[in-house]
Structure 1
Amino acid sequence: MLNEHPDFSPASRHSQEEPIRLTRLYTATLLGLALLLTIAEVITQWQIDKFQDELWLIRYTATQRHQSQQIAKKALQLADTRDSTTFRAIQSELGTLFSAIERSHLEGRQGLVRDSIGRRSTRMIENSPEVKQRYQNVKPHFEALQTSIRQLIALKEPEQIKSVSGQASLKLLLANENPFLEKIDLVVRQYTAELRQNLTRLQRVELWLHLLTLCTLIGIAYFIYRPAARRLRQTIDRLVDAEKRTTDVNRKLTSANKSLKKARQQLFDATKLQFQQQINEQKSRTAYLMAGQEEERKRLSRELHDGLGQMLTAIKLQVEGLEARLTNEGVTNSNLSALKTLITQTIQETRSISNNLMPSVLSDFGLIPGLRMLVESHNRAEHEGGSPLRITLQADEWLSDSAHRLDKTIEITLYRVSQEAVTNAIRHGKASKIDIQLFEKDQYLHLTITDNGAGFKTQRLVKEPHGQGVHNIHERIKLLNGIFKLTSTPGKGTKLKVSIPYHSQLISHDYDQTNAG
C-alpha cells in the first residue's frame, strides 16, 4: 500500500529530482557564461592598457622629431649670436632640449613608457625586432647629434662658434638632422603598423568570444529554458488543479473555523461571566464583611458610650459623694483620691476607645472634621506624653463644607485608611512628622499620607502577607475600584497614596442617629 502513495512513486521521485537537475545545469551554464565574459573582459582590458602604453610610446617617439627641429633652430641662433648673455641663454635652452630628446630616445629604445604627467609606468613594452632594427639604424645619427650638441654646449664665448671646431660641430648637427628625422619617422611608422596589427587581432578575438557567447546563450535557451518552460506549464496546470481542491478544502475549513470560533467565543464569554460573578460575589462578601465590621464598631461604640460610660460616670459620682461625706465627718482617705483619678482615666480611655471605633464627628459633620479630630487627638496625646510629634492636614476647601458631604462608604474608607496609616507611622515607624493631604483631581479623590519614620522594605509585604493593616486598606480601596500605592525606604520614611473615583454630587447620609448623639 505504501508504494501506491503518490509521494513515494518513481514518477514522483523523478519529478522531484528533475528541478534539482535543471537547477544544477542552469547554474553551471550561467557560471560558465560568466567565466567566459570575465575572461573576455580581462583580455580586452589588458590589451587596451597595452595599447595605451604603445600609444604613449609612439607619442614620445614622434615628439623627438619636433625636438630635433627645435635643436637645429637653437643651434643656428647660437651661431648668429654675438652677445654673451644671449649666447649662454641659448646654450641653456639647447641643453634642456637635448636632455628631453635624449631621455625620450633612450627610453623608447628600451620600451619604457611615461604617462601624461611624466610618471614612468611600471610595465615595459618589448620592442619587436623590426623596431629594434629601426632604432639601430637611427643610432649613428643620434650619436652624431649627441656629439655635436655637447661640443656646442661646451663653448665658452660667442667667438668660439666661428672656430674650426665650432663650425665642424654645427655642420655635424645640421648634416645628421634630416637623416635622424627620417629614421625616427620610420620607427613611428613601424610602431603604428604593429599597433594596427594588434588591434586587428583583438577584434578577431572579441568576435570569436562574442560568437561563443551567443552559442552559449542559444544552448541555454534550447537545453534549459525550453524544457523548463514546458515543465513550468505542467506545474502551473497542476497548481491550478491543486488550487481548486485547496479552495474547496479551505471553504470547508473556514466554515469549521467559524463554528469553532463561535463556540470558543461563547465559552470565553461564559468563563468571563462566571469569573466576573465570582469577583462580584467576592466583592459583595467583602463589602458585607466590612459593613458588618462597621456596624459592630457602631454597636460597641454605643455600648461603651451609653452602657459602660454611664456606669463609670455613676461610680465616679458615688465615689465623689462618699469622699464628701467622709470629709464632712473629718475622715481623710488617700485611696479615695487615687480611686477617683483611676475612674476618671478609665472614663477617658472608654471615650477614646468609643471614638476610635466610630467617631461621632465623622457621622455628624463629615470626613474633614473627623480627620481634624484624629490629628488633634494624636497631637494632644503625644504632647502630653512628651514625645515630639507633628501631624498636619491639608485638604481642598470644598471638602470642609458640610453641604458637600461625600458618600458614606468613601468617608468611612478614607478615615479608616488615615487612622491605620497614622497608627502604623507612630507605633512602628516612630515618626515625628506626618503630613496628610486630601484633594480632588481628574475626577479622583487623592489621599496622600507621608511620614519621616524608620521605613521598611516593601518586599516584606510579599514575604509576610499576614500584615493585616495593609491588607485591610487594600481590600477597602479595591471595593471602591480605587488605586492603592505604598512606597517606603528604610531610614527615609513611608508614603501611602490612595486614589478613588469620585464625581462631585450632593450625598444624603443615613448614619445611626443614636451614635450621632
Structure 2
Amino acid sequence: MTDFLSDNTKNDQAIPFRFTRLYVTLFLILAVLLTGGQLLTQWRLSTVQDELWIIRYTALQRHQSQQIVKQALQVTDSKEGSDFNQNLAELRHVFSAFERYHLESRQGQVTDHNVLIPNSDTIQRLYTNISPEFNAIQQSIGNLIKLQRPEDVSQPVVQASLKLLLANEKPFLEEIDGIVRQHTSELRNQLIRLESIELYLYIISIAVMLGIGFLIFRPATHRLKQTIAQLIEAERQASIANKELLYVNKSLNETRQKLFEATRLQYQQEIDEQKIRTSYLMAGQEDERKRLSRELHDGLGQMLTAIKLQIEGLEAGLRRASAEPGKTDLMAHSKSITNLKKLVTQTIQETRTISNNLMPSVLSDFGIVPAIKMLAENDRSETVDVTFESNLTADDPRLDKNVEIMLYRITQEALSNAVRHAHPSHIHIELIERQNYVHLLVTDDGRGFRPVSQRSKLPSPTKNGRAPSQGLHNMEERAKLLNGRLKISSVPGKGTKVQVSIPYKLQSAHYDAN
C-alpha cells in the first residue's frame, strides 16, 4: 500500500485521485460492514419479535385450555342450570379462539399481526405428537356445544365427552409447555448467534478503522512535504499562466473596443437611415399640404372669388335699379342669382371632395371595404376602368383602425401613381384575408417601370426636398409601421403590381365621430 502511494509522486494529478480512491474504498467497506450489521440486527430483531408473538399465542393456548375445562364443567353442572346458555356461549367463544390459535401456531402464523414464520422440524414434530390430545379436546367440545337444554347434560354422550376432555387436558398442557420451551430455546440460540455476528462485525470495523489510519494517514503524512513542494511549483506555473491571461485579456479588451466602435457606427448608420426615412415622411406631408393648398387655391378659392364677383355684380345691378326705378332688369338679376346658387353648390361639392380626400367619412363609418370601393368608383373615368373585389364581407368584424387607414392611404397612393405616371386602361384592386394576414393588391396594365433593386438603401433627397420614388417609399414606410411587407413588381411596358401584406387581428373597431 505504501508503494502504491509512492507512485503518486510521478503524477501530480494522480496524488489526490488515488488517495481519495483508497480512502473512499476503505470508507465504503466500513460503511457496508456497519450498514450490513445494522440491517442484520434489525432484521433479526424483527424476526425475534415475530417469534415472540408465536410463543405468546402458543403459551396462550394453555390458559385457553384451562378456561375451556372450566366452562365445560360449568355447562355440565346441574347447579348452574340458570346460567346454562351464558356458560355455553362463553364455551363456544373460548373454544373458537383456542382452536384458531392452535391451528395458526401449528403453521407458524399469527394473522392478527401478519406474522408467518415456518416452524422448525422439532416443533413440527411436537405439534404432531400433540395432535391426538387436541383432536380429543376438539371432539369433546364439539359434542358439548351441541347441547340445547340443561336437561341434556345427563346424557351418557355428554358425560363421556366431559371425561374425554378431562383425561386429555393434562397431557395437552404438558406438551404445550414443551412446545413453548422449544420455541424459547430456539429463540435463545438465535440471539446468541446474533451476538456473535455483532461481535465479529465490531472486530472487523475496528480493524478497518486501524487500516485507514495505518495505510492512509501515515503515508499521507510522509508525502505532505512533497505535496507542498508541488503546490509551490503549481503556484509558479499559475503565475506564468496569469501573465498570459492578462495578455489575452488585454487583447480581448482591444477586440471588444473595436466591436463596440463597429456597433456604434452601425447604430449611427441606422439613425441616419431613420432620419432619411423621417425626411421622406416629412416631405410627403409637405407634398400633401401643397396639394391641399393647390386644391383650396385653384378650386375652392377660385369658386369663392367667382361668388364674390357675382355678388358684387348683383350689388351694382341692384344699386342701378334703385337709382333708375323704371329700368329694372329682372331677367338679368334672376340669371345672376341662378349663377350664384350654382357656384355655391359647386363650392359645397368641392369642399366635400377635399374633406373626403383628407379623411373619408365612409372609412370611419363603414370600414375599409366600402371606402376602397368608393375610391375605385371615384377614380373610374372614360379612359381608366377601375375594378375592386374582396373576400371580406359586411358581416366580418372590422379591422383595426390603424390597419384600415394604412390600407386606404396605400391604395390612394397606388391609384394616384398609376393614373399620373402609368396611363393604364385598367386598374384592378384586391383586398383578401388569408392565414391571419390581410393582402392588398393593386394591379395596372400601364407603362410600368424598372423598380429599385435594393429598398434598404434609401436614396438621398433632392434639392427641392423630394426624393426619387418618394411615393413608393411612403407606402413602404406605412407598411413597416404595422410590421407589414411591401412588394412592387413591375416590367416596362407590362404594367405594375403593388402587394402589401399586413398581420392583423379582426376586432370591433371604435372610431371618433369627428
TM-score (normalizing by structure 2) = 0.51
Structure 1 residues 424 and 51: CA distance shift in structure 2, 3 A: farther
CA 1:189/1:28 → structure 2, altered by over 3 Å: closer, same or farther? same
CA–CA distance in structure 1, aligned partners of residues 221 and 353 of structure 2: 92
Deviation at 1:207, TM superposition (A): 1.8
SS of residue matched to 1:454: strand
- For 1:94, the equivalent position in structure 2 comes to 91
How far did residue 202 of structure 1 move?
A: 0.6
| 1:159-186 per-position Cα deviation (integer Å, ceiling 9, x unaligned) | 3323455334334434543453344234
| Identity %, equivalent residues | 40
2:231 is matched with: 239
- 2:70 counterpart of 1:78: no
Equivalent of 2:110 in 106, 109, 114: 114
Give the 3 Å change call, closer, same or farther, for CA 217–371 of structure 1 in structure 2. Answer: farther
2 CA distance for matches of 1:86 and 1:155? 13
1:124 and 1:11, CA in 2 relative to 1: closer, same or farther beyond 3 A? closer
**Structure 1 residue identity aligned to 2:191:** L
Instruction: Structure 2 unaligned segments of length 5 or more: list them.
Output: 1-6, 291-350, 360-373, 389-408, 432-437, 444-449, 457-467, 488-496, 504-514
Q: Distance in 1 between matches of 2:138 and 2:376?
A: 127
Residue among 99, 121, 140 paired with 1:148: 140
Structure 1's unaligned 5+ residue stretches are 1-9, 299-367, 391-415, 434-450, 497-517
Counterparts of residues 235-314 of structure 1 (less than 5 Å): 235=227, 238-243=230-235, 245-247=237-239, 249-250=241-242, 253-254=245-246, 257-258=249-250, 261-262=253-254, 265=257, 269=261
Query: Relative to structure 1, is the Cα distance of residues 55 and 494 closer, same or farther in structure 2, using a 3 angstrom cutoff?
Result: closer
Q: For 1:172-218, what per-residue CA distance to the aligned partner results, in whole angstroms no more than 9, with x for missing partners?
A: 43454345334423432332233123212212211211221222233
In the superposition, relative to structure 1, how do residues 487 and 132 fare at CA in structure 2: closer, same or farther (>3 Å)? closer
Q: 1:468 to 1:168 in 2, by over 3 A?
A: same
Q: Is the 8 A contact 1:382 1:389 kept in 2?
A: no
Q: 1: CA distance between counterparts of 2:147 and 2:52?
A: 38
Rate the CA distance shift 1:145–1:492 in 2: closer, same or farther, 3 A: same
- 1:51: Cα distance to partner? 1.8
- 2:50 is matched with which residue: 48, 53, 63? 53
**5 Å matches for 1:159-178?**
159-178=151-170
- How many residues were matched structurally? 363
Distance in 2 between the 1:270 and 1:59 partners?
92
Q: How far apart are 1:57 and its partner, in Å?
A: 1.3
Any conservation in 2 of the 1:429–1:454 contact (CA below 8 Å)? Answer: no
Q: How much does 1:58 deviate?
A: 0.6
- Identify if the C-alpha distance between structure 1 residues 421 and 218 changes in structure 2 by more than 3 Å, giving closer, same or farther: farther
**1:423 aligned partner, one-letter code:** S
Whole-angstrom CA distance in 1 between matches of 2:64 and 2:194: 34
CA distance in structure 2 between the partners assigned to 1:374 and 1:136 by the alignment: 117
- Aligned CA distance change for structure 1 residues 461 and 60 (closer, same or farther; 3 Å): farther
Asked if 2 retains the 8 angstrom alpha-carbon contact of 1:113 and 1:123, the reply is: yes
Deviation, structure 1 residue 67 = 1.0
Does residue 454 of structure 2 align to residue 454 of structure 1?
Answer: no
2:180 corresponds to 1:184: no
Q: State how far apart, in whole Å, the 2-side matches of 1:89 and 1:278 are.
A: 108
Q: Quick one: higher RCO (CA 8 Å, sep 6+), 1 or 2?
A: 2
Q: Does 1:385 align with 2:395?
A: no
The offset of 1:383, in angstroms, is 6.3
Q: Does 1:423 align with 2:423?
A: no
Are the counterparts in 2 of residues 56 and 113 from structure 1 also a CA contact under 8 Å?
no
Give runs of aligned pairs for residues 185-224 of structure 1, distance below 5 A: 185-224=177-216
1:356 is aligned to none
Whole-angstrom distance in 1 between the partners of 2:486 and 2:165:
111
**What TM-score do the two structures reach when normalised by structure 1?**
0.51
Map of 1:125 onto structure 2: 119
Question: Do the aligned partners of residues 255 and 66 (structure 1) sit closer, same or farther apart at CA in structure 2, a change above 3 Å counting?
Answer: same
SS of residue in 2 equivalent to 1:116: helix
How has the CA–CA distance of structure 1 residues 123 and 176 changed in structure 2, closer, same or farther, with 3 Å as cutoff?
A: closer
- Deviation of the 1:79 alpha carbon: 1.9
